[in-house]
């Protein structure tokens, strides 16, 4: 369902990514309604939004992933559209179908397209891939990425200095298959398409920094059939994105007592950091403990990696353990391997 204008959205998600989406909507003049579970009353993404709606109990299946609760929250808040943040929601065909059946705009690929392309709502697991925005005219802002992973979770993503070569034929057919909006693609070792994900994957910030674009504005443009209003920055630049996570044992709660990285900036900013928690906020053991995201751009990937490392080096006491030192070591290793004229780190 394409709507001429979207003036208000239900932001389906939580944590730093939801905070980043809410902040982008504010810049674009779009009203936001946040959702939360019973254990996240007063969470930062709620405080940033214009309004908030309780979904249900702590288990994600009864709150953040509950189709009926999300649709009912959108109806009660009288928003124009539902904007899913993580791939777990953006790739959820049943949710897309229910939102459209309720007469609301779904900001992402249609349900039947998600079904056809196996929209399983997972972050791409491949070590390499690309990001793009897809409209009727094809793929735009195509951004190759490499990913450094630990325990199945991407820690650092960056643009390779030599690109990735030709895109898999299946990826080039995405527009013909009906895909519209943001896409994160994984490529297998044989150069074939491995995964396709909708929504704001954790390395979507690489695309934003590399091209100086606003991913939220691109997503809204797909939903309305309008061209983005802002002009991309000259580029592309090299870029890197980092996810800072708590290392508390799974299911263990904590409390943030110190400042986390937070560097506000518009899409053209060379450095942006978004925190998901303020001092005093409770870190609940129910959900992924993503504390903050940091993304940087530069004339080469090594420069971008060093800029991101500078933000994470010597963080003050935050009250919860995190993987900052490990991430900084990875960034410095990547920066050393990506000196101009040197080989890519793989």
Number of domains observed in the structure of the chain: 1
Least confident of 31-35, 150-154, 330-334: 150-154
User: pLDDT tens, 232-249?
Assistant: 766 789 999 999 999 999
Whether 98 maps to a domain, the answer reads no
For residue 64, pLDDT over 90 is answered with: yes
Integer-rounded Cα radius of gyration of the chain:
19
**Residue 150 confidence (pLDDT):** 61
pLDDT band at 97 (very low <50, low <70, confident <90, very high): very high
Whether 242 maps to a domain, the answer reads no
Whether 187 maps to a domain, the answer reads yes
**Residue 1 confidence (pLDDT):** 45
**Residue 333 token pair:** 């290793």
pLDDT band at 3 (very low <50, low <70, confident <90, very high): low
**Residue 229 confidence (pLDDT):** 73
**Residue 184 confidence (pLDDT):** 94
Contact between residue 181 and residue 158 where contact means Cβ atoms under 8 Å apart: no
* Phi, psi values for residue 3, rounded to 5°: -110, 140
For residue 345, pLDDT over 90 is answered with: no
Q: By C-alpha distance, which of 121, 326, 336, 305 is closest to 206?
A: 305
Whether 300 maps to a domain, the answer reads no
**Residue 338 confidence (pLDDT):** 63
**Residue 344 confidence (pLDDT):** 45
pLDDT band at 40 (very low <50, low <70, confident <90, very high): very high
Tell me the pTM: 0.93
For range 96-117, the mean pLDDT? 95
Q: By C-alpha distance, which of 113, 89, 109, 107 is closest to 220?
A: 107
Q: Which residues pair with 37 in a beta bridge?
A: 56
User: pLDDT tens, 284-321?
Assistant: 888 888 999 999 999 999 999 999 999 999 888 999 99
What is the span of the domain harbouring residue 220?
128-224
Higher pLDDT, 102 or 234: 102
Whether 191 maps to a domain, the answer reads yes
Whether 272 maps to a domain, the answer reads no
Distance CA 92, CA 96 (A): 6
Whether 140 maps to a domain, the answer reads yes
**Residue 166 confidence (pLDDT):** 84
**Residue 285 confidence (pLDDT):** 87
Whether 136 maps to a domain, the answer reads yes
């Amino acid at each position: 369902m394409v709507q001429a204008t979207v003036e208000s959205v239900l932001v389906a998600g939580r944590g730093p990514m939801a905070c980043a989406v809410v902040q982008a909507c504010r810049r674009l003049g779009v009203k936001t309604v946040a959702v939360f579970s019973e254990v996240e009353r007063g969470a930062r993404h709620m405080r940033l939004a214009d309004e908030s709606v309780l979904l249900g109990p702590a288990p994600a299946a009864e709150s953040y992933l509950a189709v009926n609760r999300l649709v009912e929250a959108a109806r009660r808040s009288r928003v124009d559209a539902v904007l899913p943040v993580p791939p777990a929601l953006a790739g959820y065909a049943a949710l897309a179908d229910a939102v459209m059946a309720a007469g609301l705009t779904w900001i992402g690929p249609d349900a039947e397209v998600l079904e056809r392309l196996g929209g399983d709502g997972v972050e791409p697991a491949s070590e390499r891939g690309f990001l793009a925005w897809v409209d009727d005219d094809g793929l735009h802002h195509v951004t190759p990425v490499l990913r450094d992973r630990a325990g199945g979770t991407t820690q650092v993503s960056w643009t390779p200095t030599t690109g990735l070569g030709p895109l898999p034929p299946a990826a080039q057919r995405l527009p013909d298959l009906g895909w519209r909006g943001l896409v994160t693609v994984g490529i297998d070792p044989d150069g074939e398409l491995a995964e396709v994900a909708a929504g704001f994957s954790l390395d979507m910030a690489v695309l934003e920094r590399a091209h100086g674009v606003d991913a939220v504005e691109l997503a809204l443009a797909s939903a309305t059939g309008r061209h983005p209003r802002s002009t991309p920055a000259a580029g592309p630049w090299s870029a890197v994105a980092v996810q800072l996570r708590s290392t508390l044992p799974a299911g263990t709660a904590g409390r943030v007592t110190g400042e986390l990285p937070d560097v506000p900036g518009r899409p053209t900013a060379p450095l942006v950091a978004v925190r998901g928690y303020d001092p005093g906020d409770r870190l609940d053991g129910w959900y992924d403990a993503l504390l903050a995201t940091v993304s940087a751009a530069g004339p080469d990937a090594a420069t971008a990696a060093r800029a991101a490392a500078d933000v994470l080096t010597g963080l003050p006491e935050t009250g919860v353990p995190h993987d900052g030192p490990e991430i900084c070591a990875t960034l410095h290793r990547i920066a050393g391997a990506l000196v101009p004229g040197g080989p890519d780190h793989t």
